[in-house]
Chains A and B, each alone.
Chain A
Amino acid sequence: MNTTQMEATAKFLSRLSDLYSNISNWVQPQYLRVVRFNMKLNEEAYGKYDVEKLSIIDANGKRIGELLPVGASVIGAEGRVDLIGDVDQEILVYLDDGGPHFTTEIEVGGQQERRTTPLYRGVEEDGWYWIEIRRLSRARRLDQALFLDLLAEVSDHACC
């Protein structure tokens, strides 16, 4: 792994760690706890590296959800982790302020016009986002309320 690759994976791991810390605080009032497990990711762009996944456990010791890192090399995002429950799964992506965007240039009568189009609406700061409706390109910043809703959705767990 070269320096650029190491920096990219270190950034991804640090963002994951921040997310896990937030989730740990968010689920505590619901009498849930989290446990981190080591795993390995192997990406063509970065090679093999160590990463943590996160299990969310209820008061009876039953795992109701898991955050499974998918990778740092993701199309249209700076990293991805999947929230997986017994009944469904949701995709969480890390987006930089403004999100991914592309620029088109049109030249009409010698005048050049540049237009920048964001891939998603609603990305106003760096952070983890849930893509609410991909067809409408709407991203929602992950916070406690949203995370608990998503957890309930994927796990069918009553307490969330």
Chain B
Amino acid sequence: MRAVEAIEEIWLTYQVTKDALKVATHGINRGAIELLQDTFFINSSTDKAKSDLETCRRSAGDYAILSMWAIFERHVLDALVSENGKMLDMPLSDFNSSLHRKIGDAI
């Protein structure tokens, strides 16, 4: 999967999660137990359910950013490895050979 596709999937997951949490919040606010049946919200105090949803909403945002960052970081590393390899195709000089070694060690 390309980095851009992976990021799009993370974004979609985040949007759907956020909307699902919104639906759950509406269900709780309106006392719509038919929506909440067979979920852990049943028998939970209203305040606890709302605070859990808020925590979840914040976590979903944090995880989305973290996941996107991980994909981006992987993409940057792959690009560096690829560009670093190309350096060896050029006429070898002290400068590009030591730069190649330095980048390789860092990666």
A residues neighboring B (CB under 8 Å): 43-45, 70-71, 73-77, 80, 91, 93, 100, 102, 104, 117, 119, 131, 134-135, 137
Contact with A along B42-80 (1 / 0, CB 8 A): 111111111000000000000000000000000000000
A134: which B residues are within 8 A, CB to CB?
38, 42-43
Do the beta carbons of B37 and A45 come within 8 Å of each other?
A: no
Is A74's CB under 8 angstroms from B45's CB?
yes
* A75 adjacent to B34 (CB under 8 Å): no
**Alpha-carbon separation in the docked complex, A102 to B27 (Å):** 13
Which residue among B28, B33, B36, B49 has the maximum number of chain A CB atoms within 10 Å of its CB?
B33
Q: How many A-B residue pairs have CB under 8 A?
A: 58
In the bound assembly, the distance between CA atoms of A16 and B37 in angstroms comes to 25
Beta-carbon contact of A73 and B45 below 8 Å:
yes
Contact call B33/A102, Cβ cutoff below 8 A:
yes
In whole Å, how far is A130's beta carbon from the nearest beta carbon of chain B? 10
Report the bound CA distance from A135 to B32 in whole Å.
18
Quote the shortest CB–CB distance from B24 to chain A (angstroms): 10
**Does B41 sit within 8 A of A, measured CB to CB?**
yes
A-B contact pairs, 13 of them (CB 8 A): A43-B46, A44-B47, A70-B45, A73-B47, A75-B44, A76-B36, A76-B42, A77-B43, A80-B45, A91-B43, A93-B43, A119-B33, A134-B42
